[in-house]
Amino acid sequence: MNYQTFQPHPDLQSLVSCYWTLEVPAEDNAQRQRIIPDGCIEMAFILGDDIKRYTSDDEFILQPRAMVLGQTMNPFYIEPVGQVNTFAVSFYPYGFSNFISEPIKNLVNKETPLNALFEKKSAEELKRKILKATDTQGRIELIEEFLFDKLIEKATIDDIVKTTIDTLLATNGSAPINEILKSNLSKRRQLERKFAKQIGISPKQLGRVIRLQTALKILLNNEEAENLTHIAYESEYYDQAHFIKDFKEFTGINPREFLGNKNMALSSLFFK
């Protein structure tokens, strides 16, 4: 697997986390890969062969060639039918809402074709140009031209949303929402509404996903990864049982099964 990331234009850095590419040669017995929630929204372009997205154990859809992957709260399986070649834009949790008028909650737990979110002609033209481009730099220039054109005039990030997300990121998802808001319940209701519109999931759900990311990185990169109590403590979980419960909910397996699991090779690559 060849996975690379690229930084966005300085004027997009507050909204776009990175661009990334993934190339995987075709395999005769390709393993299904379980995709884990990461708190981000992504715009992806499939440049290689088709990719299946399983909706049940034996039923699948083919992912659109140009799509937006909304916030996910449940793991799901994908499986390439041949060569993998993907170019994608990873947006910060609050980033993508600055480019469309549709509530982000409508994108949760699914892939949405690009031409369903933007004017059909411009979306199809972007897809055609991205597929035709000969290198990553050319695709980055194309996508940035598109994003600057679609950026909502005077796009702003609500202070209450940004402050909450920044605090969750700084505390690895462990900061209580009421503490962030200084127990102002009226702000809590306002925040929930703004998150539904701009992020797609609740502040508490995003905090849980961020905390899981912290645990996954420790599990994959730390020499003490086998010590689940240590991981739970470092990730700010109440105890090991709470950590294992969250881990199984978001990944479908327990932490000890994660390491070396062939179905988790792609997710492991992203989180490393």
At 157 the pLDDT is 59
At 37 the pLDDT is 86
Residue in this structure with the two tokens 């054109």, named with its chain if needed: 149
Q: How far apart are CA 84 and CA 51, in angstroms?
A: 8
Print pLDDT tens along the chain (272 aa). Answer: 899 999 999 989 989 999 999 999 998 787 889 888 888 899 999 999 999 999 888 899 999 999 999 998 888 999 999 999 999 999 998 889 889 888 888 999 999 999 999 999 999 999 999 999 999 999 999 999 999 998 865 455 577 888 898 899 888 888 888 888 876 667 788 888 888 888 888 999 999 999 988 888 888 776 555 688 888 888 888 888 888 899 888 888 888 888 777 777 777 666 66
At 184 the pLDDT is 67
At 272 the pLDDT is 60
Backbone angle region of 39, left / alpha / beta, with phi > 0 → left and psi within -120 to 50 → alpha: left
Residue 56 CB: number of other CB atoms within 10 A? 7
DSSP helix/strand/coil, 241: helix
Show the DSSP H helices in the chain as ranges.
Answer: 120-132, 136-150, 159-170, 177-180, 185-198, 203-221, 228-234, 240-251, 255-258, 265-271
Cα-Cα end-to-end distance for the chain: 13
The pair of three-digit structure tokens given for residue 178, joined into one six-digit string: 């009421």
Strand order of the β-sheet with 66-69 is 2-6, 16-24, 84-91, 41-46, 66-69, 111-113
Residue 132 CB: number of other CB atoms within 10 A? 11
At 257 the pLDDT is 81
Chain center to CA of 126: 21
Short-list 134, 93, 136, CA closest to 2: 136
DSSP helix/strand/coil, 65: coil
The pair of three-digit structure tokens given for residue 136, joined into one six-digit string: 């990553």
DSSP helix/strand/coil, 80: strand
At 154 the pLDDT is 47
Domains of the chain by range and CATH? 2-150 (2.60.120.10), 158-272 (1.10.10.60)
